[in-house]
Amino acid sequence: MPRYLFAVAIALLAAGSASAQVRIKDITDIAGARNNQLIGFGLVVGLDGTGSRSTFTQQIAVDMLQRLGVTAQIFSQLPSDAVIRSTSISAVMVVAKIGPFARKGGELDVTVSVMDDSRSLQGGTLLMTPLRGADGQTYAVAQGPVSVGGFSISGQAAGVQKNQVNVGRVVNGAIVEKEAPGEFVKNGKSQLLLKLPDFNTARLIARAINERYASAALAMDAGSVTLCLPADSGKTAVQFLAEVGLYEIKPDVVARVVINERTGTVVIGENVSITPSSVTHGNLYLRVSENTQISQPNPFAQGVTAGVPRTQVGASEEKARLLVLPKATTVADVAKAFNTLGVTPRDLIAIFQGLKEAGALHAEVISQ
């Protein structure tokens, strides 16, 4: 990333966060209104020779056919006409999420993943697969064509593949058969759960609600706010929670610097500050060039023409610059200070780590 673009990007983030107001519904969840994980095991058929060749998958196909009233055996057991020799099937695991307000007849997206030696799910169709919850009960049934986000083409000597072809999705492929309702109101009370727990943010949420409904909200701790449905409001619990979710506050977040050394990405959050410190920055440049010089013998000499390598190596070090950083209180100040050094994102990673070790960076550093 060019240095000036790097500075502009951080400056824009700072400008956008300076007066950010967010809705309460975007930073909280309602206790009891949660998703539940579903899982199932099934078969994908219709694969173009990319299916499994394992006895395990063939036996599963035989068991399924027997439940449908078709008599068959796998080839390894009985080499005859009534056997399974297919490479168009694959054993898969199917997962999905069911929300607290999903109703019978509703549809869910499912994710299908290969669990045998199949090479691709491209062009396959998932057969009817029950999806069960942690309690062992069936909540949905999935079936439909599998869509993969890539492709795989191969010949006898080479092949090409884009993205993952052993995992696919069936959009709206599951039909809800049993509801998993959530209890979000209990004894006239509800609870908001903060996605990023913070004592001050919980206090701000409670204050914003109490400004409209006196004593309706109480911050219990850094991660939850208890709501009491006002008896004189004339509103149902759904209406009250819908209104509360639209209130806007400016959440207080912990100062963080997120560093991804694999990609050279640095994200600086709001409230990051640096105490007065000095930073020196310099680079070492190496230059290596290879040239081949042709050696030609004399006309009457008993020699041969040969190439003689000539290597030139040089090194130069950029003059180090010492910058005294004043106390920075905003992301824009931090960006301006480091842009003066002309640092790249990867250099910035080393500088932030050094500042943290020196005790000059007052922020939580998260390495990914």
Name the amino acid, one letter, at 11: A
pLDDT at 39: 96
pLDDT at 193: 93
pLDDT at 5: 42
Could you tell me what percent of the chain has a pLDDT over 90?
32
Over residues 128-141, the mean pLDDT reads 93
Model confidence band, residue 319 (pLDDT cutoffs 50, 70, 90): low
pLDDT at 292: 67
Q: And the tokens for 327? A: 């106390």
- Is residue 75 over pLDDT 70? no
Q: Which of 152-166, 173-187, 318-332, 334-348 has the lowest mean pLDDT?
A: 318-332
- Is residue 80 over pLDDT 60? no
From 131, 122, 119, select the one nearest 57 (Cα to Cα). 119
Comparing 326 with 236, the larger pLDDT belongs to 236
Model confidence band, residue 12 (pLDDT cutoffs 50, 70, 90): very low
From 114, 181, 182, 180, select the one nearest 148 (Cα to Cα). 114
Q: Count CB atoms within 10 A of the CB of residue 314.
A: 9
Helix, strand, or coil (residue 231):
coil
**CA 203 to CA 211: how far, in whole Å?**
12
Annotated domain spans of the chain: 3-12+255-283+322-367, 21-32+183-249, 36-52+87-176
Comparing 57 with 276, the larger pLDDT belongs to 57
Over residues 266-284, the mean pLDDT reads 72
- Is residue 186 over pLDDT 80? yes
The per-residue pLDDT of the chain, averaged, comes to: 78
**CA 280 to CA 365: how far, in whole Å?**
21
Contact 331, 13 (CB under 8 A): yes
150-170: burial string, b at 16+ Cβ within 10 Å, e else: eebeeeeeeeeeeeebbbbbb
**CA 115 to CA 93: how far, in whole Å?**
7
pLDDT at 82: 45
pLDDT at 201: 93
Burial of 89 (0-12, 13-18, 19+ CB in 10 A): buried
pLDDT at 340: 66
Comparing 117 with 317, the larger pLDDT belongs to 117
pLDDT at 51: 84
Q: What are phi and psi of 188, to 5 degrees?
A: 75, 10
- Interstrand relation of 107-114 and 90-98 (parallel, antiparallel or unpaired): antiparallel
Q: Which of 7-11, 100-104, 242-246 has the lowest mean pLDDT?
A: 7-11
Q: Count CB atoms within 10 A of the CB of residue 132.
A: 16
pLDDT at 55: 82
Model confidence band, residue 283 (pLDDT cutoffs 50, 70, 90): low
Contact 257, 201 (CB under 8 A): no
Strand partners, 147: 169
349: enclosing H helix or E strand: helix 345-358
Q: Which of 36-50, 123-137, 191-205, 323-337 has the lowest mean pLDDT?
A: 323-337
Q: What is the DSSP letter of 120?
A: -
pLDDT at 335: 67
Over residues 56-74, the mean pLDDT reads 77
- Is residue 315 over pLDDT 60? no
Model confidence band, residue 265 (pLDDT cutoffs 50, 70, 90): confident
**CA 246 to CA 23: how far, in whole Å?**
5
Write out pLDDT tens, residues 338-365.
666 667 777 777 777 887 888 878 888 8
Model confidence band, residue 317 (pLDDT cutoffs 50, 70, 90): low
CATH code that applies to domain 21-32+183-249: 3.90.1150
